Amino acid sequence: MINYYCQPMYQPVYYGNLSFINHSPAYVATNHYKSNPSRQYPDVDSTLLEQSAKSMRNIMKEASIVLNKLADSKSFANKVMYAAQHSDMTEVERLIQSTGITSKVKTTFNPDGIMLKLSSSIENVECCHLTISLRWL
């Protein structure tokens, strides 16, 4: 009869009495997350955040349009995949734009699938983007 003894992957280390460490929620809230009183933060202006959220909402609607077209139209999906497999980037981009979306789209593909990055800008600065990765192999 063979007897196997399994040792733990790590050995606990005892550092003595650590009862002085207090990890209660009240301690953490009052001591670990206090702001640095010497650091001054600018006043909060959520305008850009709100604009980014509105732009993202639009991007998500347009992403749904593309996804619905790919999911519901076998001929459209075949055309996109065929163009990508033949490295016809112009045709892939034309097909994606033919869905009626207005967002800026950067398309990349490889033998495994396709990636669409929809983005939006506010005052010529990219404020938000959504990346969709779809597999076909």
For residue 131, give the nearest of 97, 105, 98 by alpha carbon: 105
- Calculate the alpha carbon distances from 113 to 32, 74, 110 in Å: 45, 16, 6
Residue with tokens 């955040």: 49
For 43-135, strand residue ranges (E) read 104-110, 113-122, 125-135
What pLDDT score does 4 carry? 46
Phi, psi angle pair for 131, to nearest 5°? -110, 130
Q: Residue 92 class from Cβ within 10 Å (0-12 exposed, 13-18 middle, 19+ buried)?
A: buried
Orientation angle between helical segments 47-72 and 74-85, nearest 10 degrees: 100
What pLDDT score does 38 carry? 77
Residue-by-residue pLDDT tens, the chain, 137 positions: 444 444 445 555 555 555 555 555 555 555 555 556 678 888 999 999 999 999 999 999 999 999 999 999 999 999 999 999 999 999 999 999 999 999 999 999 999 999 999 999 998 999 999 999 999 99
Alpha-carbon Rg for the chain, nearest whole angstrom, is: 26
- Calculate the alpha carbon distances from 68 to 60, 65, 85 in Å: 12, 5, 21
Could you state, in order of their start, the residue ranges of all structural domains in the chain?
A: 47-135
What pLDDT score does 1 carry? 46
What pLDDT score does 39 carry? 80
For residue 1, give every residue at least 6 positions away whose Cβ sits within 8 Å of its Cβ, in sequence order, or none.
none
Q: Residue 30: which H helix or E strand, with range? A: none
What pLDDT score does 16 carry? 56
pTM of structure: 0.69
